[in-house]
C-alpha cells in the first residue's frame, strides 16, 4: 500500500507544492490530538487553525528489513511532527520515500 501526502509551503515568498510518497507501507498511524483546543490560551482565530498541521520536523531511521523470497527489503520508519514535538502526528513504516516538486498553476 502506498500513502501520498501533498504539502504546500512558502519558499522565498513563492508558494511551492511537494508530493511525498511513502511506498510499500507496512503501517501508518495518525495521532490527531483531540484536545488541541485545550492548548489555546486566546480566542481561536479560524485563519490560524491550519498552522496546527504545519510540519515542523521529519525524523527517519531504518528499523530492519523484510524478507520476500530471496530478497531482503529495508524498512524505514518515518515520523512527522506538527504541534507536539514528543508525539508524532504521523508514523509510517515503508520501504521507500519519494519526493516530487509539483508545479502550481
Q: What is the mean pLDDT of the chain?
A: 79
Q: Which three cell numbers stand for residue 32?
A: 490527531
Distance CA 11, CA 81 (A): 20
**CA distances from residue 75 to 22, 57, 66, 72 in whole angstroms, order as listed:** 11, 20, 7, 10
CA angle 97, 100, 80 (to 5 degrees): 45
**pLDDT above 70 (res 90):** yes
Please indicate whether residue 6 or residue 64 has the higher confidence score (pLDDT): 6
Span 3-32, average pLDDT:
86
CB count in 10 Å sphere of residue 32? 10
**pLDDT above 60 (res 74):** yes
pTM: 0.70
Please indicate whether residue 48 or residue 73 has the higher confidence score (pLDDT): 73
- Model confidence pLDDT, tens digit, residues 20-71: 999 989 889 988 655 555 555 555 565 555 566 678 888 888 877 766 667 7
CB count in 10 Å sphere of residue 19? 13
Amino acid at each position: 500500500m502506498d500513502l501520498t501526502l501533498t504539502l504546500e509551503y512558502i519558499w522565498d515568498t513563492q508558494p511551492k507544492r511537494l508530493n511525498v510518497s511513502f511506498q510499500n507501507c507496512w503501517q501508518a498511524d495518525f495521532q490527531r490530538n483531540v484536545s488541541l483546543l485545550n492548548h489555546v490560551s486566546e480566542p481561536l482565530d479560524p485563519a490560524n487553525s491550519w498552522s496546527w498541521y504545519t510540519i515542523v520536523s521529519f525524523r527517519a531511521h531504518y528499523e530492519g528489513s523484510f524478507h520476500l523470497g530471496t530478497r531482503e527489503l529495508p524498512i524505514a520508519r518515518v515520523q512527522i511532527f506538527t504541534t507536539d514535538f514528543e508525539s508524532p502526528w504521523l508514523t509510517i513504516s515503508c520501504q521507500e520515500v519519494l519526493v516530487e516538486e509539483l508545479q502550481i498553476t
